[in-house]
């Protein structure tokens, strides 16, 4: 039974692929009948997937499960390829009719395209990879509790136990709109030998990642803006003793300010310039501290036994600059939707023989667990 269903599923995918190729040859968009045919094919594929899942659970055989898994992976690749073809076809063939949004025509600008951009943004941003990300669209209230203020003590039967002074607070994450625009040459789009979709995805992702990296590090909030690590409180900040100087003792002291319960996933965050300075530190004998047993254990990108995350968006060494962050960056919470609004701008750049591709995402961020992160501030 499963073999027949898989063959039917593949036939439906071929049907969808042929429709995309047809409108590409005809140099037009999807008509109502073709759109309906694609929707029916997608619905049937969903039914087949459900049947295959139930059959897989009934059989319980690991070998058969692996076969179906491999088929699902292959079909997912085929579907993504279809989505990219549909998106590219629309960009090429409908530039004379005006732009539309992903929300109003999701069949032409597929969700998978937006998902690829989001995935690329996460891969490009080291701080975003380590932050706590909430994939929700509505407002989010994060409960925060300082465990160090909770009273735990010995107790004698019959006596009263002391209550805790610690209380729950909440950090609200709302919706801040982030947008970016990429302009692409029409002659580049029209080149049949070039798949422009990966280029568009990569360029949009780079622009968004560069912006978010800066805001998640230096953002101080305010109306319609993100909050970042710069929200850190005075109690979590250590100021250097000497201007434009960082000492090994200061680094050790900074690291130990983070409670041991948060040390397992802790790492350093600084600019390449600051890291280059630290790498140049030498002992009184003139020997570099970046040797086995010194600041680095084995690899250059370890500092006091912890990984070093480099970012061009962290301030370089300067007076009053937040130069180094250390800790478990899951303390930075980010609310980020998994979809985006994508719009193709046709007339705006027509005289330049270019097409604009804009993307918008709703998100918010806050340093919800400040006890996990400390900062070194230049004097």
Q: What is the pLDDT along the chain (379 residues), one digit of tens a residue?
A: 567 778 788 888 888 888 887 777 777 777 767 777 787 888 888 888 888 777 766 655 444 445 444 555 566 666 666 666 666 665 555 544 444 333 333 333 455 666 777 778 878 888 999 999 988 777 888 877 766 666 677 777 877 776 666 666 788 888 888 888 878 887 877 765 666 777 777 777 888 899 999 999 998 877 788 999 999 999 999 999 999 999 999 999 999 999 999 999 999 999 999 999 998 888 777 777 765 445 554 445 788 889 999 999 999 999 999 999 999 999 999 998 777 777 777 777 888 888 887 888 889 999 999 999 999 999 9
What is the spatial distance between Cα 363 and Cα 208, in angstroms, rounded to a whole number? 12
83 with 117, same domain: the answer is no
In angstroms, how far apart are the furthest CA atoms of the chain?
A: 87
User: Measuring CA to CA, how many Å separate 23 from each of 27, 35, 77, 85?
Assistant: 6, 11, 21, 11
Domain boundary among 38, 73, 93: 93
Rounded to whole angstroms, how far apart are CA atoms 78 and 203? Answer: 23
Same domain? For 47 and 190 the reply is: no
β-bridge pairing 332-336 and 341-345: unpaired
Cα–Cα distance measured from residue 40 to residue 19, given in angstroms and rounded to the nearest whole number: 13
Q: How many degrees, rounded to 5, is the angle at CA 366 between CA 316 and CA 101?
A: 100
State which of 32, 67, 93 marks the end of a domain: 93
| DSSP assignment string, 16-41 | HHHHHHHHHHHT----HHHHHHHHHH
Task: Return phi, psi of residue 294, to 5°.
Answer: -95, -135
Please check whether residues 85 and 119 belong to one and the same domain: no
pLDDT of residue 266: 96
**pLDDT confidence of residue 97:** 42
Same domain, 246 and 299: yes
- Indicate whether 275 and 369 sit together in one domain: yes
Full residue range of the structural domain in which residue 268 is found? 97-379
Tokens representing 98?
Answer: 């005006």
Q: Are residues 85 and 118 in the same domain?
A: no
* Structural contact between residues 205 and 120, judged by C-beta atoms closer than 8 angstroms: yes
292 three-class SS: coil
205 and 169, same structural domain?
A: yes
Instruction: Say if residue 111 is in the same domain as residue 239.
Output: yes
Identify whether residues 9 and 102 lie together within a single domain.
no
**Is the whole model's pTM more than 0.85, yes or no?**
no
Residues 194 and 314 in one domain: yes
Number of domains in the chain: 2
CA atoms of 243 and 221, how far apart (whole Å) = 28
Pick the last residue of a domain from 93, 109, 137: 93
Same domain, 150 and 12: no
How far is the C-alpha of 267 from the C-alpha of 265, rounded, in Å? 7
Short-list 13, 203, 198, CA closest to 87: 198
Same domain, 88 and 208: no
> Which neighbouring-strand residues pair with 332?
367
């Amino acid at each position: 039974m499963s073999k027949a269903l898989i063959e039917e599923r593949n036939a439906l995918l071929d049907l969808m692929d042929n429709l995309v190729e047809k409108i590409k040859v005809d140099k037009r968009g999807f008509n109502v009948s073709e759109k309906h045919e694609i929707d029916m094919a997608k619905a049937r594929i969903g039914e087949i997937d459900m049947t295959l899942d139930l059959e897989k659970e009934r059989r319980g055989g690991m070998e058969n499960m692996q076969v179906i898994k491999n088929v699902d992976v292959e079909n997912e690749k085929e579907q993504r390829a279809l989505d990219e073809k549909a998106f590219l076809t629309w960009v090429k063939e409908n530039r004379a009719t005006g732009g539309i949004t992903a929300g109003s025509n999701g069949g032409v600008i597929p969700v998978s395209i937006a998902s690829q951009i989001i995935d690329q943004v996460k891969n490009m941003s080291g701080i975003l990879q380590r932050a706590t990300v909430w994939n929700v669209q509505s407002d989010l209230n994060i409960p925060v509790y300082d465990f160090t203020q909770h009273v735990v003590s010995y107790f004698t039967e019959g006596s009263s136990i002391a209550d805790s002074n610690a209380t729950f607070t909440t950090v609200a994450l709302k919706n801040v709109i982030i947008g970016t625009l990429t302009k692409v040459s029409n002659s580049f789009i029209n080149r049949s030998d070039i798949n422009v979709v990966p280029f568009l995805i990569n360029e949009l992702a780079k622009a968004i990642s560069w912006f978010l990296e800066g805001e998640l590090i230096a953002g101080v909030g305010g109306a319609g803006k993100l909050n970042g690590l710069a929200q850190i409180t005075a109690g979590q900040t250590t100021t250097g003793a000497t201007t434009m100087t960082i000492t090994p003792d200061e680094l050790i002291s900074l690291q130990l300010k983070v409670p041991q319960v948060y040390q397992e996933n802790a790492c350093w965050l600084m600019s390449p310039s600051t890291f280059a300075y630290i790498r140049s530190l030498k002992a009184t004998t003139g020997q570099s501290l970046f040797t086995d047993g010194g600041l680095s254990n084995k690899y250059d990108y370890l500092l006091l036994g912890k990984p070093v995350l480099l970012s061009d968006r962290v301030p370089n060494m300067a007076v009053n600059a937040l130069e180094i962050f250390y800790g478990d960056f899951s303390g930075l919470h980010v609310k980020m939707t998994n979809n985006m609004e994508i719009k193709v701008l046709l007339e705006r750049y027509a005289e330049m023989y270019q097409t604009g591709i804009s993307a918008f995402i709703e998100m918010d961020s806050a340093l919800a667990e400040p006890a996990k992160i400390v900062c070194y501030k230049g004097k």
